[in-house]
Structure formats: structure tokens, C-alpha cells
Amino acid sequence: MKKIKEVFKFKPNKKEEILEEESLEEILAKMSEKKRKGKVLSLEMISKIDKREARRRKIDNAIRLTIATVVAAMFAFLFLMPIVLTITNSFMGSAEIASNYGTVFATNANGGKVYISEKVNLKFIPDIVSFSQYSTVLFKSPQYLLKFWNSVVLVGPIVLFQLIVATLASYGFARYTGKIRAIIFFAYVILMLMPYQVTLVPNYLVVDYLNNFFKIKDTYWAIWLPGIFSPFAVYLLTKFMKRIPQSMIEAAQIDGAGEWQIYRKICMPLCKGAICSAAILVFIDYWNMVEQPLILLADAEKHPLSVFLSKINSGEVGLAFAVATIYMVPPLLVFLYGEEYLVDGITYQGGVKG
């Protein structure tokens, strides 16, 4: 307002009035005309212009927010539709599933897939709610629960010990500098960027070599060891620890704190969100693993449920829906429980809250 007064040499003029029904364009036209004729603007005219501009900005922001919300809702619907379809179809009977999706899972005489010539009927609400699929999975077919607990046994130690190794390694990368440190961290980044299929053969060769001394081939250790020393969590936590102010560490050193006390009482509390974020991401990643058990575990009895899901035949489509629903429960619970930590860890970037 002060700048506007200086530009137009503000002088109060009580005789000038502006009607409410005048548009912003008309006001601006009058402004230019008055400026050309050497006249000045009144305080009321300047205030009116500010209010109309603020109103227009408010309407524009509301329109943008509405459009963004509608687009986000559309994408959310597309992403959630398969999950909702799986959960609702798990309560359908075998006959209803066959009538709706029989052409999708049909096979020819040789066991191969056939061309889908009929229209598939996607149903979100079953005609008759049936719990027979869950009864079969939970009580009549123990192999499904056995595979489920195989997944828990495989993933649990990987998440726990990978975080322990990652926090210690990240503290070292964040606290110390030098060429050797830079080379090692660069190697971590390169390994993290490579897909697991690229490193699968080297992992198998290492396991085969270690099997000569420790007999870890075809055991859970063949899955645990590569997972525990995965570079992803190290890279993520290092970026967070680097953002901890050096002044806090120096203050702790002045007070007589050692490296272990700095690690335990400063870095760990400040990186709580980052650690939870890494735990959630690592859990979801290894919960869905397929290639590692297929290559490194010859005994099918030790395979997790993620591998067994692909082997359910066409006659057990209803069971596949039920097993898939049960298999989704742990990741959903982990995500819902740690959503606040996940968002906080990603947006916080390891800094110190004011």
C-alpha cells in the first residue's frame, strides 16, 4: 500500500466514490485515465482494488485445489481397485468365481492358457458371502499357514539386523571423511542402483563358496546374509545423519560424550523417523521377494508364501483370493502403524526440529 501511495502521489480525496458493481477492469481503466490526466487515486479506490485482487486469487486457488483433489481421487481409485477386488472376491464361492472369471483362468488340454473370448464380469460385491475359502486356508490346508510363517521367519531377521548394521555403518559414513570413505560409499550407491537380478548370480556364487565352510546353501542363511548387508538402508540413513548439526555433536564432545554415547543418545533419537521409514520399506521389499527363494532355496517347503501364490492352480482361484488377502494384512498393518513415521522420515530429512 505504501508503494502504491508513493507511485501515485497519494492525496486523500473524499469526493471520489466507486460503486460496488464496477469490475476490476473498469477500475484499472479509470486508474490509467486518471493517471494520464494527472489526477490521483483515492484511498477507497486502492483498497477496493486490493480486495478484488485478493478475492480473485482466492477463487483461483480454490479451483486449483479442487482439480488437484479430483485427479488424486481418480488415481487413488485406480490404485485401490485391485486391492478391494481381491478382498471382496475372497468372500465369493467357487461357483460364483468360476462364472465371473472362468475364462481368465481357463486352460487348454496341454495346460496352457486359452484366448479370452468372453467378457469378464468384474464384481465388487458377492451375491452370497461365503467364508469357505478362509476355512480351507486356515484350518483344512496347513501348507498355506506354513508358507506364511516361512515369510515371517525370512523377513523378520533381515529387517532387524539390516537396521542394526545400517545405523552403525551410516554413523561411520556421516561422522568421518576421506578418500577411502568416499570410495566405499560410492560402491554402496552403485550396488543400490543395480536391480537384484543383476547381483543374483554373484550372490549365488558367494553362497556356494561359503557353503564349503559353513554349509549355508539351501538354508535360511542364504537369504538372510545378502539381505542383512543390503546397501539401501545404509544409503538412506547416511543422508539423514549428515543433516544433524555439527554443533550438537561438538557440544556433546565438550561435555565428555564418547562416540558410542553420541551414536546412542543423539543420532538414534534424531533419526527415529528415518529408521522407521527404512524398516517399513525394507519389510515391504523383502515380504514380496520371489527370485531369492527360488534360486537360493532348493527345498520347496522353505519357500515363502510369495512364491507359493504363483503356484496355486486354476481350480483353486477362490483360495488364491483368500491367501492373497491374508498375505496383504502384515504390510497394510505395518504401513498404517508407521505411516506417520514414514511421512515424517521422508519430509524431515534428518534435520533438527525447531
Residue 109 cell numbers, joined: 488340454
For residue 107, what pLDDT is reported?
60
Model confidence at 126, pLDDT cuts 50, 70, 90, reads confident
- Which of the 8 DSSP states describes residue 194? S
Whether residue 318 has pLDDT greater than 70: yes
> What distance in Å separates the CA atoms of residue 221 and residue 164, rounded to the nearest whole number?
17
Whether residue 153 has pLDDT greater than 90: yes
Model confidence at 26, pLDDT cuts 50, 70, 90, reads low
For residue 169, what pLDDT is reported?
92
- 117 three-class SS: coil
216-251 pLDDT, tens per residue?
A: 888 999 999 989 998 889 988 998 888 888 888 889
> 165 or 121: whose pLDDT is higher?
165
> What distance in Å separates the CA atoms of residue 239 and residue 354, rounded to the nearest whole number?
19
> What distance in Å separates the CA atoms of residue 333 and residue 335, rounded to the nearest whole number?
5
What's the average model confidence in pLDDT over 336-354? 64
Give the range among 27-31, 88-92, 226-230, 322-326 with minimum mean pLDDT.
27-31
For residue 39, what pLDDT is reported?
46
What's the average model confidence in pLDDT over 90-114? 69
Model confidence at 29, pLDDT cuts 50, 70, 90, reads low
What's the average model confidence in pLDDT over 283-310? 87
Backbone angles phi, psi at 107, to 5 degrees: -130, 160
For residue 112, what pLDDT is reported?
59
Whether residue 287 has pLDDT greater than 60: yes
What's the average model confidence in pLDDT over 27-34? 61
Model confidence at 151, pLDDT cuts 50, 70, 90, reads very high
> 253 or 108: whose pLDDT is higher?
253
What's the average model confidence in pLDDT over 253-263? 89
Whether residue 350 has pLDDT greater than 50: no
> 112 or 91: whose pLDDT is higher?
91
Whether residue 353 has pLDDT greater than 50: no
> 24 or 312: whose pLDDT is higher?
312
Residue 99 cell numbers, joined: 462364472
> What distance in Å separates the CA atoms of residue 292 and residue 285, rounded to the nearest whole number?
12
> 51 or 213: whose pLDDT is higher?
213
Domain boundaries, the chain: 2-84, 90-130, 138-348
> 91 or 346: whose pLDDT is higher?
91
Mean pLDDT, the chain, rounded, equals: 79
Cα 272 to Cα 16, 86, 201, distances in angstroms: 63, 34, 35
- 261 three-class SS: helix
89 within 8 A of 129, measured Cβ to Cβ: no
37-46 pLDDT, tens per residue?
A: 444 456 666 7
The owner of cell 515424517 is 344
Give the range among 1-10, 61-70, 255-264, 333-342 with minimum mean pLDDT.
1-10
The yes/no answer on whether domain 138-348 falls in CATH 1.10.3720.10 is yes
For residue 32, what pLDDT is reported?
60
Model confidence at 197, pLDDT cuts 50, 70, 90, reads confident
* Helix (H), strand (E) at residue 40: none
